[in-house]
Chain A
Amino acid sequence: MQSDATTDDLTPGAVPPVRRIMVDAEPTVVERPRRSNGGSADGDGAGPAGGATAAVTRATPSAGPKVERMRAEAVTIAYSEKEAVKSVSLRVRQGEVLALIGPSGCGKTTMLRSFNRLVELTPTATRTGIISIDGEDIDEIEVTGLRRRVSMVFQQPNPFPMSVFDNVAYALREQGSGRPSKEELMPQVSDSLERAGLWAEVKDMLDHPALRLSGGQQQRLCIARALAADPEVLLLDEPCSALDPKSTQVIEELILRLRDEVAVVIVTHNMQQALRVADHVGFMYLGELVEYGPAEQVFGRPRQQRTRDYVGGAFG
């Protein structure tokens, strides 16, 4: 990926962000100048009202390097006889946000849960195909170890019934004997809270029960908790659907800040959100990955009719 010189010629607010897409190739991104705040949901007035895709503000692509972290090859997941995911292949890269979109029951959450093998908790679930992390088959990795590398945040904010500090330290404390002291854990805990943008709000109340925090703070605490073990991949399962718009915006900004440090996969049924945060988009429908590509292409020039029908709502 390279920054194009023509970027400088674009007057912010006058011309929509443009990406040149080469079919089946790494996206060559024609970048707009980076916004100072890392890309808020609104407010810089990008694009005239007349532009087709310009009405929704796109996140600025990351300038950082893109590193492939995970790879799914022909993954099929079935619950009993019913196939929830049908032969899906995709890549998860650090430095960008991959959004899985699609209507309810299309398999996007099942796909997400297969990345950290959480899908195995469903007794009837079976999976074929290969999922790998850094070239290593995830089935070969001890599952608790894998889940420390591939962390997850859920739809409902679900802090544990313990203090703010203990929630973040949870993943750091090894099972069994040898509990590290609070002082030893403090640097990692404060760092995680910092990365989740929560440190300033909770630094004086680390001993308070986490369940006393507001919904948006609880969800950021869950993100901090997921970041504590320093994962390579962060899975987000509709992380904002239980939150108010303000908290949603805070978390979306957070996602964009995090994508350079950790590969982010987000499942969302909110098209606007996918448009705001995603660099890559996979559109799933009835278990199939109908369309997969750079966000600009999937939203701007979908190749499939089904994608066109679905994402049509995003611009309406």
Chain B
Amino acid sequence: MATTGWRPTDPAGTIESWPLVDRIGYRLAWAAGITLCLIAASVVLFLAVKGIQFISFDLLADRPIADIDQSKSGGFRDPLIGTVLLTVIGTLLAIPIGVATALWLTEYGRPTRLARAVESGVEVVAGTPSIVLAIFGLLIFSQGVFSFLSFTDTGGAVFGRSFFAAGAMMSLIALPLVVGATREALQSVPGHVREASYALGKTKAATIRRVLLPAVRPGIGTGAALGMGRIAGDTAIVILLLGASLQLQGVGGAPVVGDLRGTGSTLTSYVYLNSPAGEGNAPEKAYAAAFVLLMIVIALNYSISRIARGRQGGLSSAV
């Protein structure tokens, strides 16, 4: 935009003329931002220094083995696979349910009371600590009707712990993030875009399918990526609902389904169990695994910001 005779004012240049409270606030804001940067940098640096010196290909490729001698206790291949599996299951469940919820809330939302109830429900799920979700999940999935999802003991007791059970509860962690991001994206689509579709003789359903869903795809991606980060980082559900067995323990039967009905661990539970707080007492492996986990989450965050930036060329800014 061409402007004449006007230049952006440099806040630092005039700050001396500000009231004292503003000067203090201004410097506090700076300090807060820089402190956060420093904390983030030190976490990454600390883990990089601690983790990289122990990390090796063997560690990533070997199965963990219970052994007092740390040179024989293997790597964290299984927990790595566990993290990926659980993240995929949780996200695959969360996306359709979350998008459907967001669509209904934004595009229909009648009766209003029901919509408010659904909104509150999503908020409750979002605010529930994952350990509470985990214990609830254990209660549910130990019921006989869910025996197909996990290992059943010879006595008929349903174990209730499996990738299916943990993945289902993990999806609840990702769900509110998918709902929120999708709703936000839907709300940023101007009303006249919907009307343009109706004005071309399309029904509401066709408009949602052909116009709105493509328009909010980046929003769905953002929500899903945020949710994946949260799933990859959760520990409580893994310990309670995945069994946190060192190795992947398939139930047998069908190859993939058998593994998913079985137990396993993730990088988070591996870090916990190998840390000085856990039983393994192999801090160097915990550091290495923590570093890998951090890299995964940073990569997910990076992809979120890429998606979000790609969105600027999208519908909401162009119209």
Contact = CB atoms under 8 A, between A and B. Distances in A.
Contacts of A171: 200-202
Interface stretch (B67-75, B140-148, B189-197, B283-291): B189-197
Contacts of B192: 154-156, 158
Contact of B319 (A156, A225, A226): A156
B112 to A, nearest CB: 12
Which range holds the interface residue count of chain A? 20 to 34
Interface stretch (A140-148, A183-191, A251-259): A140-148
B319 A144 contact: no
A215 to B, nearest CB: 9
Contact of A156 (B190, B197, B200, B203): B190
A211 B197 CA distance: 16
B198 A147 contact: yes
B315 interface: yes
Given A158-B319, A170-B210, A225 B203 contact: no
A281 interface: no
A158 B201 CA distance: 16
Interface in B205-227: 205-206, 210-211, 214-215
A170 B193 contact: no
B319 A157 contact: yes
Contacts of A144: 201-203
Looking at A148, A151, A161, which has the most chain B CB atoms within 10 Å of its CB? A161
10 contacts: A116-B199, A121-B198, A147-B198, A147-B200, A147-B201, A152-B196, A154-B196, A160-B210, A160-B215, A161-B211
Interface of A: 116, 118, 121, 144-148, 151-152, 154-158, 160-162, 170-171, 175, 209, 211-212, 218, 222, 225-226, 229
Given A160-B193, A161-B211, A225-B196, 19 more contacts: A116-B199, A118-B195, A118-B198, A121-B195, A144-B202, A145-B201, A151-B199, A154-B199, A155-B192, A156-B192, A157-B319, A160-B211, A161-B215, A170-B197, A171-B200, A175-B206, A209-B313, A225-B200, A226-B199
